[in-house]
Amino acid sequence: MPVILQSELVEAISQHDKYLRGVSGGRRLDISMQTGHELDFSKKELMGAEFVGAFLNYSNFSYCKLQQANFFGATLNNSRFFEADLSQADLRGAQMQGVNFTNAVMNDANLSDGLLLRHQQGGGLGPVHSADAKLRMNDAIFRNVTAQRARFSSAIELSTNLSFANFKGAKLNGVNFTGSNLHGVTFENADLRGCNFSNANMSSAILLRANLDGATFDGADLTASLVHVEDFSAETFSHAKMTRTLENLEYSIKEILAEHRVWVNTLGREGKRADLVGLNLSGLSLEGIQLQAASLQKSLLSRSLFDHATFTMSDLSYCNASESSFVKADCRGVNFSMSRLDDADLQCADFSPMLISRTLEPTYWPANFSGATMQGARLRGADLHGAHLERTMLAGADLREANLEGASLVDANLTGADLRGAKLDKVDLRGAVGVK
């Protein structure tokens, strides 16, 4: 198999650019059945390029435009496709172990099985590459991937990181997701017939209008997920961990909140801290509620009203608060890490650090949104100074006039975010994307 060097690749990409622009001398990039190691394709426009059967381990395709590219039967192990656009790409039979697809777009892509054959001695046909199809995507990372209407193989075992991936309308029937990290994944209108979700982390997932015929959820964690349980048989989720309902609480919510107020006012000497972990509080009007230092991990808070509420030092990690309203809420020192806050209204909310010690050198506890998804969130005028926003998805967020002084936005996604008038002094933007 011929070897392609980086210097040769540069010239081939230049010719592909001419091909795309219809310039004389242009030629489609075709490195099918060639070998390259640690090649750099990053930030290039490679729409329609051919990579059939190529060996391209450890290559960098980050920020590439690869719409309709052909990777049939290619070997791409440990390569990077960060923020790449692979819409309608052909990835059938491709080996993608350890590949990082974080934030990639894979709408209508085909990742189903495929076998590249060639003539062998004796006249018969045999596989070009010999590899276990079930390990094709072992240890691959699909965090924040958008893969609407994509096709996956039923033979692939995806015990990998798929957190916050968007598989809306995807064809995933028969896929084995056993033990996978599916936190915050969107499966709306997806074909999930016969899928195995045993022991998978599906907290904050969206399963609205998904086809779950024959799917199994034994041991799956579905807390804070959006699913109309009544649309399915009683056995579908009988062995899964589901969101708790108010009706199943030992005490009424009114009694729990009253005990919590006593606990706060007596600094923990009396009363009891509110334990609302994994509770369904969606669609409720709870304006002005006092929940300082409460436990709300993995709670379902979507489409609820929390305007002027107090959540100082509360733990709301891994919760689902999409489309909820926290206008002018006091959320100093709050923990929203790995939570879903898409389209939430957080205008003029206070997410500044909480003073926790008044010694000679005062100690402050910052708000934490690390790893959360806040696409389309309204944060105009919010105080986020000093906040942890590492790896946070803020695409399309309204951050006008927000205070982000000293905040950490390392590896955050700010594509399409509105930062007009925002305070950005001493902001850490290392690795952040979408920043102009």
Could you read off the pLDDT of 237-253 as tens digits, one per residue? 999 999 999 888 888 88
Integer Cα distance of 190 and 179 in angstroms: 19
Paired tokens of 112: 């189903």
13: pLDDT confidence band, cut at 50, 70 and 90?
Answer: very high
Residue 416 has pLDDT above 60, yes or no: yes
112: pLDDT confidence band, cut at 50, 70 and 90?
Answer: confident
Instruction: For residue 394, give the 3-state DSSP assignment.
Output: coil
Average pLDDT over residues 49-70: 96
pLDDT digits (tens, 9 = 90+) for 288-341: 999 999 999 999 999 999 999 999 999 999 999 999 999 999 999 999 999 999
Sign of CA dihedral 306, 307, 310, 315: positive
Q: How distant, in Å, are the alpha carbons of 55, 69, 75 from that of 42? A: 17, 15, 18
Number of helices and strands (H, E) in the chain?
Answer: 2, 6
Average pLDDT over residues 384-411: 97
pLDDT digits (tens, 9 = 90+) for 115-151: 666 656 666 656 666 666 667 888 888 888 999 998 8
Integer Cα distance of 264 and 381 in angstroms: 29
CB 85 within 8 A of CB 64: yes
Residue 51 has pLDDT above 70, yes or no: yes
Paired tokens of 377: 């969130």
156: pLDDT confidence band, cut at 50, 70 and 90?
Answer: low
Average pLDDT over residues 396-419: 96
Nearest to 277, CA basis, from 325, 220, 318: 318
Q: What is the pLDDT of residue 201?
A: 94
Q: How distant, in Å, are the alpha carbons of 204, 264, 396 from that of 309? A: 22, 15, 25
Integer Cα distance of 290 and 220 in angstroms: 32
Where is average pLDDT lowest: 245-249, 258-262, 347-351, 392-396? 245-249
Residue 284 has pLDDT above 80, yes or no: yes
169: pLDDT confidence band, cut at 50, 70 and 90?
Answer: very high
Residue 372 has pLDDT above 90, yes or no: yes
CB proximity list for 240: less than 8 A, separation 6 or greater: 217, 218, 219, 220, 221, 222
How confident is the prediction for the chain on average, in pLDDT? Answer: 91
Kindly report the CATH class assigned to 246-436.
mainly beta
- Give the gyration radius of the chain's Cα atoms: 24
205: pLDDT confidence band, cut at 50, 70 and 90?
Answer: very high
Integer Cα distance of 194 and 211 in angstroms: 9
Encode 286-318: b = buried (16+ Cβ within 10 Å), e = exposed. beebbbbbbbbbbbbbbbbbbbebbbbbbbbbb
Residue given tokens 């899928």 in the structure block: 195
Integer Cα distance of 341 and 293 in angstroms: 19
Q: Is 416 left (phi over 0), alpha (psi -120 to 50) or beta?
A: left
Average pLDDT over residues 207-221: 94
DSSP codes, 168-192: TT-B-TT-B-TT-B-TT-B-TT-B-
Task: Write down the pTM of the prediction.
Answer: 0.84
